[in-house]
Amino acid sequence: GIQVEQSPPDLILQEGANSTLRCNFSDSVNNLQWFHQNPWGQLINLFYIPSGTKQNGRLSATTVATERYSLLYISSSQTTDSGVYFCAVEGKLIFGQGTELSVKP
């Protein structure tokens, strides 16, 4: 089956810094999503992005399907951005292991 790898596994930032999270997948996909899991465990949809680039406020994402990776950009990070970021691919949503982000004030 498809393997999904996320990097880095952990990231500590100072408030206001920018960051890039990466998601690599082992085969071509028709579906890719990014989620943010908040401290209460809820999975929040960030982007549905099987290809191309999307932006939503301070967050943006790019998927290069032909090269089998997706990037999530967080600009001007805030403490509320803390949590775990997941990418997931395909219809059955195969998840990566996530990137745990901690933003310090």
Partner 1 sequence: SQTIHQWPATLVQPVGSPLSLECTVEGTSNPNLYWYRQAAGRGLQLLFYSVGIGQISSEVPQNLSASRPQDRQFILSSKKLLLSDSGFYLCAWSVQSEAFFGQGTRLTVV
Phi/psi class of residue 30: alpha, beta or left (left: φ > 0; alpha: ψ in -120 to 50)? alpha
Q: How near is the Cβ of 62 to partner 1 at its closest, in Å?
A: 18
Q: Residue with structure tokens 């099987």? A: 50
Q: Does 5 bind partner 1 (CB under 8 A)?
A: no
Paired residues of 21 in beta bridges: 72
Q: Does 17 bind partner 1 (CB under 8 A)?
A: no
Q: How near is the Cβ of 76 to partner 1 at its closest, in Å?
A: 25
DSSP single-letter state for residue 42: P
Residues that bind partner 1 (CB under 8 A): 30-31, 33, 35, 40-43, 45, 48, 50, 84, 86, 88, 91-95, 97-98, 100
